[in-house]
Amino acid sequence: MISDWILKAATSLSLALLSVALLVTLVRIVRGPTLPDRVLGLDMLVAIAIGFIAVIAIKTGFSLYMDIAIALGLVGFLATIALARFVLTRGLAPERAPRVAATTGGAKPAPKQIKTGRPNRRKRKGGR
């Protein structure tokens, strides 16, 4: 079994490092030049919060904190998916926004043909 002073030192060091990571992530969220940078920063905040909860669970020996960390991970994942979808469709008109198939099994629309700007004027052999 790990001696008490090693466990106390490891948890204190990990809490200090997580605090530094939290501050750096907050700076990235505030200074992030684009919206995807900020979304990534928010996702990182969720990961750091899960780390804090896990370290506190180890420090206190209260295992219910691990269940809270797992639930926070699931909520953070769903929030990241929702924000990514928002970033994907932001700025597009409703008729130009990508369509997603319904959860009832609807089919996705076929992709539109991309026009290259130059017509195909190659002549066929055989006089056609």
- Give the largest CA-CA distance in the chain: 91
How far is it, in rounded angstroms, from Cα 92 to Cα 77?
24
pLDDT at 9: 94
Tell me which residues of the chain have a pLDDT lower than 70.
1-2, 91-128
Domains, the chain, with CATH or none:
4-89 (1.10.287)
How far is it, in rounded angstroms, from Cα 128 to Cα 119?
17
8 A C-beta contact, residue 39 and residue 25 = no
Helices marked H in the chain — which ranges? 4-31, 35-60, 64-89
pLDDT at 106: 55
pLDDT at 84: 78
How far is it, in rounded angstroms, from Cα 100 to Cα 86?
13
Q: Which residues of 95-121 are buried (b: 16+ CB within 10 A; e: fewer)?
A: eeeeeeeeeeeeeeeeeeeeeeeeeee
8 A C-beta contact, residue 19 and residue 45 = no
pLDDT at 117: 60
Q: Looking at the whole model, is its pTM more than 0.85?
A: no
pLDDT at 83: 82
How many other CB atoms are found less than 10 A from the CB of residue 31?
A: 10
Q: What is the pLDDT of residues 32-69, one digit of tens each?
A: 888 888 888 989 999 999 999 999 999 998 989 999 99
pLDDT at 73: 93
pLDDT at 93: 55
